[in-house]
Structure 1
Amino acid sequence: MRNTCRKFLGLIFIVGGLIALFRTLSHETSSGVDLRQRHGSSVKKLLAEQIEDITSGYDDISFLIKDQVARQLTQNTCVCLAEKEMFQLPFSNLLFPRVWAHKLDIAFLESHPDPEGVKLHRAQEYSKLQIRSYSPADVPIVAQANNPLQYPTQGVEVRPLKTIIIPGLGLKEGKKSKHTVSLTATLGTFDVAATVDSVSVKGEGEKHMILSSPVLSALNRQLQFVTYRNTVFHPKTADTVEFVTDGHRSFFTIKVGHGSIPRLYNTGHQKEYNISALVTIATKTFLRYDKLKDLINSIRQYYPNITIVIADDSEHPEPVKGPHIEHYIMPFGKGWFAGRNLAVSQVITKYVLWVDDDFIFSPNTKLEKLVDILEKTSLDLVGGAVREVTGYTATYRHTISVEEGGEEGDCLHIRKGYHHEIEEFPNCVVADAVINFFMGRTYKVQQVGFNPRLARKAHLEFFIDALGSLHIGSCSDVIVNHASKIKLPWGETDTQKAYKKFRYTNVEDSLKNEDFYFKNRFQCMTSN
Structure 2
Amino acid sequence: MRATFKKGLGIILITGLLLTLFSAWRRGTSTAVDIWPTQGGHIKKLLEAKIEDTLNGYPDIAYHIKDDVACHLAQNACVCLADEETFHLPYSNLLFPHVWAHKIDLAFLGSHPDPEGVKRHRAQEYSSLQRRSYNPADALIVADANSPLQYPTQGVELRPLKTIIIPGLGLKEETGSDHVVYLTATLGTFNVAATVDKVSVKGEGEKHMMLSSPLLSSLNRQLQFVTYTNTVFHPKTADTVKFATEGHQSFFTIKIGHGPVPKLYNSGYQKEYNISALVTIATKTFLRYDKLKDLIDSIRQYYPTVTIVIADDNEHPQPVTGPHIDHYIMPFGKGWFAGRNLAVSQVTTKYVLWVDDDFIFTANTKVERMVDILEKTTLDLVAGAVREVTGYTATYRHTISVEEGGDEGDCIHIRNGYHHVIEGFPNCVVADAVINFFMGRTDKIQQVGFDPRLARRGHLEFFIDALGSLHIGSCSDVIVSHASKIKLPWSKTDSEKIYDKFRYSSSSADNRINQEIFYFKNRFKCMTSH
- 1:461-480 correspondence to structure 2 within 5 Å: 461-480=461-480
Cα deviation 1:456-491 (Å, max 9, x = unaligned): 111101001100000000000000000001111121
C-alpha distance in structure 1 between counterparts of 2:400 and 2:9, whole Å: 34
C-alpha distance in structure 1 between counterparts of 2:327 and 2:22, whole Å: 52
C-alpha distance in structure 1 between counterparts of 2:414 and 2:7, whole Å: 36
Aligned twin of 1:284: 284
Task: Give yes or no for contact 1:143–1:250 (8 Å, CA) kept in 2.
Answer: no
Q: Does 1:524 align with 2:526?
A: yes
- 1:205-284 correspondence to structure 2 within 5 Å: 205-284=205-284
Count of equivalent residues: 414
Residue 521 of structure 1 aligns to which amino acid in structure 2? R
Displacement after TM superposition at 1:216 (Å): 1.1
Q: Does 1:308 align with 2:308?
A: yes
C-alpha distance in structure 1 between counterparts of 2:224 and 2:184, whole Å: 17
C-alpha distance in structure 2 between counterparts of 1:413 and 1:15, whole Å: 31
Aligned twin of 1:400: 400
Aligned twin of 1:457: 457
Taking a change above 3 Å as real, the CA distance of residues 22 and 267 of structure 1, as seen in their structure-2 partners, is: closer
Displacement after TM superposition at 1:177 (Å): 1.0
Residue 463 of structure 1 aligns to which amino acid in structure 2? F
C-alpha distance in structure 2 between counterparts of 1:219 and 1:364, whole Å: 68
Cα deviation 1:305-337 (Å, max 9, x = unaligned): 000000000000000000000000000000000
- 1:168-183 correspondence to structure 2 within 5 Å: 168-183=168-183
Provide structure 2 residue ranges, at least 5 long, that are not aligned to the other structure.
Answer: 29-136
Give the TM-score, by structure 2 length: 0.74
Please report the RMSD computed on the Cα atoms of aligned residues, expressed in angstroms.
2.7
C-alpha distance in structure 2 between counterparts of 1:192 and 1:457, whole Å: 60
Taking a change above 3 Å as real, the CA distance of residues 211 and 411 of structure 1, as seen in their structure-2 partners, is: same
Aligned twin of 2:160: 160
Task: Give yes or no for contact 2:142–2:152 (8 Å, CA) kept in 1.
Answer: no
C-alpha distance in structure 2 between counterparts of 1:267 and 1:22, whole Å: 44
- 1:58-457 correspondence to structure 2 within 5 Å: 146-457=146-457
Taking a change above 3 Å as real, the CA distance of residues 14 and 457 of structure 1, as seen in their structure-2 partners, is: farther
Task: Give yes or no for contact 2:143–2:152 (8 Å, CA) kept in 1.
Answer: no
Displacement after TM superposition at 1:407 (Å): 1.1
Q: Which one of the candidate residues 498, 514, 517 is aligned to 2:516?
A: 514
C-alpha distance in structure 2 between counterparts of 1:523 and 1:24, whole Å: 32
C-alpha distance in structure 2 between counterparts of 1:458 and 1:361, whole Å: 23
Task: Give yes or no for contact 2:354–2:438 (8 Å, CA) kept in 1.
Answer: yes
Provide structure 1 residue ranges, at least 5 long, that are not aligned to the other structure.
Answer: 29-136
Structure 1 segments, 4+ long, off by >2 Å, are: 6-25, 141-146
Taking a change above 3 Å as real, the CA distance of residues 13 and 258 of structure 1, as seen in their structure-2 partners, is: farther
Taking a change above 3 Å as real, the CA distance of residues 171 and 324 of structure 1, as seen in their structure-2 partners, is: same
Taking a change above 3 Å as real, the CA distance of residues 360 and 15 of structure 1, as seen in their structure-2 partners, is: closer
Task: Give yes or no for contact 2:185–2:239 (8 Å, CA) kept in 1.
Answer: yes
C-alpha distance in structure 1 between counterparts of 2:144 and 2:407, whole Å: 34
C-alpha distance in structure 1 between counterparts of 2:255 and 2:362, whole Å: 50
Displacement after TM superposition at 1:161 (Å): 0.5
Residue 399 of structure 1 aligns to which amino acid in structure 2? T
C-alpha distance in structure 2 between counterparts of 1:386 and 1:21, whole Å: 25
